[in-house]
Amino acid sequence: MDGRKRSDLKIGTLVNIVEKHHQRSGELTEGYVKDILTNSPSHPHGIKVRLETGEVGRVSEIIEENE
């Protein structure tokens, strides 16, 4: 799942994000969502989130965790 719909995300979701300074390279950072920063229901470049580790970026994909 890509991270363009806010309804797909919740606090604690495991995601890959692209930070602002990695937009050109497309380097991904993996982590758990701490805060959802985008207020609109969707965004064409991905919903902006803050990870538990403090990084801020747009969600490129939602990682399905196997339970």
Residue 16 counted as domain residue: yes
Residue 67 counted as domain residue: no
In angstroms, the Cα distances linking 62 to 12, 28, 31 are: 11, 12, 10
Residue 1 counted as domain residue: no
How far apart are the C-alpha atoms of 39 and 15, rounded to whole Å?
18
Which structural domain range is residue 55 located in?
6-62
Q: Residues 39, 54: contact at Cβ < 8 Å?
A: no
* pLDDT at residue 43, as a whole number: 95
Q: Which DSSP symbol is given to 46?
A: -
* pLDDT at residue 65, as a whole number: 72
Whether residue 67 has pLDDT greater than 70: no
Residue 48 counted as domain residue: yes
pLDDT in tens, 15-53: 999 999 999 999 999 999 999 999 999 999 999 999 999
Number of folded domains in the chain? 1
Alpha-carbon torsion (23, 42, 8, 54), positive or negative: positive
Whether residue 64 has pLDDT greater than 90: no
* pLDDT at residue 66, as a whole number: 67
